Chains A and B, each alone.
Chain A
Amino acid sequence: MLQSISHNSAGKSDVVAFKLAEQDFCIDIGLVREIRGWTPTTTLPHAPDYVKGVINLRGSVVTVVDLSARLGFGAATPSQRHVVIIAMHSGRIVGLLADLVSDILPINDDHIQAVPDIASNPAREFITGMITLEDGRILRKIDLAQLLPAAPGAEI
């Protein structure tokens, strides 16, 4: 669960909203370190299919997770237009591959609704809440902890 929501005032927090397969998602801004353009990754052997590989972020080796594959939309074919959101979670840095970042929005905590009971959808386990915006859009709030790959086993 997300613990480190950054409150800019009581009950309010900022989120970074991004698009993926024509749907709107967001993550807490406190977790976001920077947003970069897509750069080719180095493939990791024996990695889960949603792990695109690793990139060099100023000397650190950072895993890039293909959100589209992770959420069940199928593997993305990244282009120059794609973005990588660099996020930090419990000491680990991870890059999230998304179609584009749309805005940074202040969110009232009361506006976050629980996810309705939906059929077993891979997205279900990664989304912690739904936020209806005034313009009618719906933001799906992502739980970073669930998204990250577990450390793979030691066996080849």
Chain B
Amino acid sequence: MSDMDEFREMFFVECDELLEVLANGLRQMEAPGFDKETVHAVFRAVHSVKGGAAAFGLTTLVTFAHRFETVLDLVRSDRLEVTPQIMALAHRCSDCLTDLVTSARAQVDPDESRVDALLSELDALITPEDDEGPIEFVPLTLDFGGPLDFDLPPPMPAAPPAPGLEIAMTPGHQLYRSGNDPQALIAALHKLGPVAVALETAGVAALADWSPEEPGLAWRITITGASYDDVAAVFEFVEDCCALTISEAPVEDRPEPCDDPLPEPAPAPPVAVAVEAPGPTVVPPANAPANASAEAPQSAATIRVALDRVDRLMNMIGELVIKEAMLSQVIQTAGLHEQPDVVAGLDAIRQLAGDIQESVMSIRAQPLKLVFQRMHRILREAADATGKPVRLVTIGEQTEVDKTMIERLIDPLTHMIRNSVDHGLEDSVTRQRLGKPVEGTITLSAAHRSGRVQIEVSDDGGGINRPRVRQIAEDRGLIAPGANLSPAEIDQLLFLPGFSSKDEVSALSGRGVGLDVVRREIMALGGRVMIQSTEGVGTTFSIALPLTLAVLEGMLIQLGDQTMVLPITAVQETLRPEDRMLHGVGHGTRLLSNRGELIPIIDLGATFGLEAPGALDSGVLIVVETDSRKRAAFRVDGIFDQRQVVIKSLEQNYGRVPGVSAATILGDGKIALIIDPEEIVLSLSNDQGRRLAAMASNG
């Protein structure tokens, strides 16, 4: 039954959003002086999950959500004080709810024991009179013949009977003639209290007899919570020109109170058919703004689109950009570039293509918030597992990254957070001895930096114990004993497969994945990871990522008769070497001495087999730094441009080319290969580099 599956899927997608609202709200509640609306939002989220779950007969989920909701209701109605203990419990419940949804989605049995444990904790908070009794939810079986009902009636406290008034209004032609408008009157009534409006069309004459001068419409309005005098005051100026009666409403006609903060829309006033009537068109004043504001603040309309559609659009725009460059080249060759209208037209197209490209990229862009929010949970679990009190500070959650990257960032970040808690932070006793706050702090931050996204995970722990790292690496045969390594190089050892700085494998990080996996995943995204560590102060992992996987900022270089693209992120500097900076080592190997640092020179053209090694004084040297912080100087024949290029797969129709990461199409329609500096440097640098490379590729 695919319809059913579709509804299920819709429900789970909705759940994801609701759970996010929940987790987010709970965190906001931890801040002092939080907005009352936050509690409402949290409550509504749990309530909606419950409603949907009931429709699909997910009993465990419903039971749990109901109990959780009851406790939240106590908080909402100030009957339960928000204490750190309550918040911790709420967080755990939120996690449990997430897990229940996940297991329901995967159609596996949830962990009942955990649910039961939490349920009894929740029950301890609920006094019998608070509870609304056992839940009498009968799982609704979906019947597609009839109307769907996902939301169950909310457990509403019975409202005290409010005095209701019934107003019958039949405007005469004088009313319209004097410039009055029934709509304005009804709107005015609405300010006094909830109204239900019914339009009566019985008085409208048949078309044959109809006279535009004679109005035939009448209204029957029921209002609650307003006094007779106030209502009468509204009609003060129109009393003479319409037939008006104001009377006590019979009880059953009373409209439902509209100030319900739950997501259910207020019952729609029974507005009758809109009829073309003489005088001004009447707009039924249904659900006036007063109700709208009760909804959650996120009101921007969104649509869900399959990613491949956006990808296709992105591809086409890539083509457009290339075609535009081709066109401008043709115009140049044809000598038309001095014609003002041609130039203006071309400029406009270029501008437009650029704007479209940016817009499409922004469609794919999503704030990192989604990932960051998940990390709160990861941190909580890691803190529980290690028994270290930790708090997570997030900065720059709004930083936007390509959607595909967001998904692929979750794993590496999860691992880094766990790593920071487990290995980075000292235990409480040590922290106390060192005079540090007992609670450790892990900061997760994101920012845009020169066309890249910089994500940092830093802890205020003890920093990397370099002598120990070195010792472990030596013991495991990862480095030669006594190898001459700089502190940065020692830090880099952490990224080697099989390296674990903990002697005993802990339950938390002993899962067979190490930082080498993190590094590989980040590199697969076109990014790089760096470590900075200060002893006793802490460690910072920085990840630099491209904004998108589709476009790359590249330097166009000349190798023989070929043009190639070098990713600008690897480029440190370019220079024309002088003789005194060049030093030969043995046969054929040359080093560049640049500000005291000796850097191996790699002739790119020869490496790719495109041309014989060129003389160093005829070309340009580009100093590159790889992700693993290895430096090399690439000798190229020339550099002629720097621009954004659209990345094209080379593997799809051909295969992998060593030293090449992908291809792109240049303005003249020709293909240029994008160089993978990391691979070239690692494969050609010294022995140690080769070993690191071999290890990295094996792991």
Give A contacts to B, CB under 8 Å.
Answer: 40-47, 51, 54-56, 58-63, 92-94, 149-156
Nearest residue, chain B, Cβ from A156: B658
A56 with B609: in contact, given A44-B654, A93-B653, A149-B654 (CB under 8 Å)? no
Residue contact B659 to A61, C-beta cutoff 8 Å:
no
Cα A21 to Cα B318 in complex, Å, equals: 39
Cα A54 to Cα B669 in complex, Å, equals: 11
- Kindly state whether residue B413 has any CB partner on chain A within 8 Å: no
CB of A53, distance to nearest CB on chain B (Å)? 8
| Partner among B651, B655, B659, B671 whose Cβ is within 8 Å of the Cβ of A56 | B671
- Contact sample, A vs B, 26 pairs, CB 8 Å cutoff: A43-B610, A44-B660, A44-B673, A45-B609, A45-B659, A45-B673, A46-B608, A46-B657, A51-B654, A54-B650, A54-B663, A56-B670, A59-B318, A59-B665, A60-B653, A61-B648, A92-B652, A151-B651, A151-B655, A151-B656, A152-B658, A154-B697, A156-B658, A156-B659, A156-B679, A156-B683
CB of B676, distance to nearest CB on chain A (Å)? 10
Nearest residue, chain A, Cβ from B682: A156
Cα A43 to Cα B655 in complex, Å, equals: 14
Nearest residue, chain B, Cβ from A155: B658
A154 with B319: in contact, given A54-B650, A56-B669 (CB under 8 Å)? no
Nearest residue, chain B, Cβ from A60: B653
Residue contact A60 to B659, C-beta cutoff 8 Å:
no
Most central of A40, A60, A150 by chain B CB within 10 Å? A60
Q: Which B590-630 residues sit within 8 Å CB-CB of chain A?
A: 607-610
Residues of A close to B610: CB separation below 8 A: 43, 45
Which 9 residue pairs are nearest across A and B when measured between Cβ atoms? A151-B655, A45-B608, A156-B658, A42-B671, A63-B654, A61-B663, A156-B683, A56-B665, A59-B319
Cα A60 to Cα B319 in complex, Å, equals: 10
Nearest residue, chain A, Cβ from B561: A43
Most central of B319, B655, B680 by chain A CB within 10 Å? B655
Cα A40 to Cα B669 in complex, Å, equals: 11
Q: Which B548-580 residues sit within 8 Å CB-CB of chain A?
A: 562
CB of A114, distance to nearest CB on chain B (Å)? 31
A54 with B652: in contact, given A45-B609, A45-B660 (CB under 8 Å)? no
Task: For the A-B complex with A42-B670, A156-B683 known, give 5 more contacts whose Cβ atoms are closer than 8 Å.
Answer: A45-B657, A56-B671, A59-B315, A61-B652, A92-B654
Residue contact A152 to B656, C-beta cutoff 8 Å:
yes
Cα A93 to Cα B653 in complex, Å, equals: 6
Most central of A41, A43, A154 by chain B CB within 10 Å? A43
CB of B610, distance to nearest CB on chain A (Å)? 6
Nearest residue, chain B, Cβ from A62: B653
Q: Which B668-699 residues sit within 8 Å CB-CB of chain A?
A: 669-673, 679-680, 683-684, 697
Residues of B close to A40: CB separation below 8 A: 670
Residues of B close to A62: CB separation below 8 A: 653
Residue contact A61 to B649, C-beta cutoff 8 Å:
yes
Residues of B close to A59: CB separation below 8 A: 315, 318-319, 322, 648, 665
Residues of B close to A152: CB separation below 8 A: 655-658
Cα A51 to Cα B653 in complex, Å, equals: 12
Nearest residue, chain A, Cβ from B659: A156
Residues of A close to B655: CB separation below 8 A: 149-152
Give the secondary structure class of A's interface.
loop
CB of B489, distance to nearest CB on chain A (Å)? 23
CB of A47, distance to nearest CB on chain B (Å)? 7
Q: Which B310-357 residues sit within 8 Å CB-CB of chain A?
A: 315, 318-319, 322
Nearest residue, chain A, Cβ from B604: A45
Nearest residue, chain B, Cβ from A94: B653
Proximity bits, B93-106, A CB within 8 Å = 1, else 0: 00000000000000
Residues of B close to A56: CB separation below 8 A: 665, 669-671
| Partner among A55, A94, A149 whose Cβ is within 8 Å of the Cβ of B671 | A55
A42 with B562: in contact, given A60-B652, A61-B648 (CB under 8 Å)? yes
Cα A61 to Cα B609 in complex, Å, equals: 21
CB of B146, distance to nearest CB on chain A (Å)? 47
Residues of A close to B660: CB separation below 8 A: 44-45
Most central of B608, B660, B671, B684 by chain A CB within 10 Å? B671
CB of B422, distance to nearest CB on chain A (Å)? 34
Residues of B close to A43: CB separation below 8 A: 562, 610
| Partner among B650, B669, B680 whose Cβ is within 8 Å of the Cβ of A156 | B680
Residue contact A61 to B650, C-beta cutoff 8 Å:
yes
Most central of A46, A54, A55, A93 by chain B CB within 10 Å? A54
Residue contact B653 to A63, C-beta cutoff 8 Å:
yes
Cα A40 to Cα B563 in complex, Å, equals: 13
Residues of A close to B562: CB separation below 8 A: 42-43
Cα A44 to Cα B610 in complex, Å, equals: 9
Residues of B close to A61: CB separation below 8 A: 648-650, 652-654, 663, 671
Nearest residue, chain A, Cβ from B650: A61
CB of B524, distance to nearest CB on chain A (Å)? 15
CB of A147, distance to nearest CB on chain B (Å)? 14
Residue contact B658 to A92, C-beta cutoff 8 Å:
no
CB of A70, distance to nearest CB on chain B (Å)? 15
Cα A29 to Cα B608 in complex, Å, equals: 36
Cα A131 to Cα B660 in complex, Å, equals: 42
Residue contact A46 to B609, C-beta cutoff 8 Å:
yes
CB of B53, distance to nearest CB on chain A (Å)? 43
CB of B201, distance to nearest CB on chain A (Å)? 61
Cα A22 to Cα B648 in complex, Å, equals: 37
Most central of A61, A62, A63, A155 by chain B CB within 10 Å? A61
Cα A92 to Cα B650 in complex, Å, equals: 11
Residues of B close to A155: CB separation below 8 A: 658, 683
Cα A43 to Cα B657 in complex, Å, equals: 11
Cα A43 to Cα B665 in complex, Å, equals: 14
Cα A45 to Cα B653 in complex, Å, equals: 16
Residues of A close to B649: CB separation below 8 A: 61
CB of B603, distance to nearest CB on chain A (Å)? 13
A42 with B673: in contact, given A59-B318, A92-B652, A93-B653 (CB under 8 Å)? yes
Nearest residue, chain B, Cβ from A63: B654
Residues of A close to B663: CB separation below 8 A: 42, 54, 61
Residues of B close to A41: CB separation below 8 A: 671
A60 with B658: in contact, given A45-B608, A45-B610, A156-B680 (CB under 8 Å)? no
Residues of B close to A154: CB separation below 8 A: 656, 658, 697
Q: Which B17-39 residues sit within 8 Å CB-CB of chain A?
A: none
Residues of B close to A94: CB separation below 8 A: 653
Residues of A close to B697: CB separation below 8 A: 154
Nearest residue, chain B, Cβ from A88: B653
CB of B644, distance to nearest CB on chain A (Å)? 16
Nearest residue, chain A, Cβ from B563: A42
Most central of B650, B653, B669 by chain A CB within 10 Å? B653
Most central of B649, B658, B697 by chain A CB within 10 Å? B658
Cα A94 to Cα B672 in complex, Å, equals: 18
Residues of B close to A54: CB separation below 8 A: 650, 653-654, 663, 671
Cα A62 to Cα B673 in complex, Å, equals: 13
Residues of A close to B653: CB separation below 8 A: 54, 60-63, 92-94
